[in-house]
Structure 1
Amino acid sequence: MTETGYLLAAVAVCAGITWALRALPFALLSRLRDSPVVAYLDTAMPLGVMVILAAYTLRGVDWGASASLVPTVSALAVTVGLHLWLRNAVASIFAGTAVYVAVLALVF
């Protein structure tokens, strides 16, 4: 059986490493706040995330079947239109998802 002191030391080392890894991003964030790269990512990432989500969603669509085409196209139109109007990625994604689910429920 392993000694209690050894187990306590192992737990302390694991806790210290976990705490350090979780605190490290916050320590580095203060140095990166004025970085032009972070400023660019702040403006480009919401659109980039939406493009990735749209590409992932549209890759599996059967463009020949109207049962899958109608919900997809209507949700895509709502998502793009709302994003161009409000410039709010969260509202666009939620509204597009809601329209997709609603139209899908009406079609089937």
Structure 2
Amino acid sequence: MTDTLQMLVTIAVIALATFATRFLPFMCFGSREPPAMLSVIEKNLPPMILLLLVIYCLKDVQWLAAPYGIPELFTIGIVAGLHFWKRNAMLSIFTGTALYMALVQFHVFSFF
């Protein structure tokens, strides 16, 4: 298969999958209430995903070597405080990302 044909097939499959994931819930639940189990998943999935993201982000931190995970812990504290203060997930996520990138890029905690 040529590169162009492979790229077009890939784009078509991705577009079809995206369309299907947007269209199927309306087909399945358009005229009735979703099952109770789906409501439980809908309520609990965002915190579970965020917990998995935090665990994934901290998995490679060198806790016994400088800077001992201080940028990560500092950023987690700032994000948690900002989120509890403003209750705005987007603000917390973007501020935490920018803060962590700045701390690591400018070696703020490199004095250890």
SS at match of 1:62: coil
Hey, what's the Cα distance between the residues in 1 that align with 2:78 and 2:30? 38
Give CA deviations for 1:42-73 in whole Å, capped at 9, x if unaligned.
33222111100000011110012233622211
Aligned 1:35-46 pairs, distance under 5 A: 35-46=35-46
Task: Report the RMSD for the aligned CA atoms in angstroms.
Answer: 2.9
Q: Distance in 1 between matches of 2:25 and 2:51?
A: 27
Task: Give the direction of change, closer, same or farther, for the CA distance of 1:25–1:39 in structure 2 (3 Å limit).
Answer: closer
Q: Decide which structure has greater helix share.
A: 1
Unmatched segments (≥5 aa) in structure 1: 1-17
- Provide the aligned length of Structure 1 versus Structure 2: 91
Alignment of 1:1-108 (within 5 A): 18=16, 22=20, 23-30=23-30, 33-67=33-67, 69-107=69-107
Give CA-to-partner distance per residue, 1:5-53, whole Å, 9 cap, x none.
xxxxxxxxxxxxx59x723332114256554333333332221111000
Q: Which amino acid aligns with 2:100?
A: Y
Contact 1:75 1:99 in 2 (8 A): yes
Assess if the C-alpha contact under 8 Å between 1:32 and 1:38 holds in 2.
no
- Quick one: which amino acid aligns to residue 78 of structure 1? I
TM-score, structure 1 normalization: 0.63
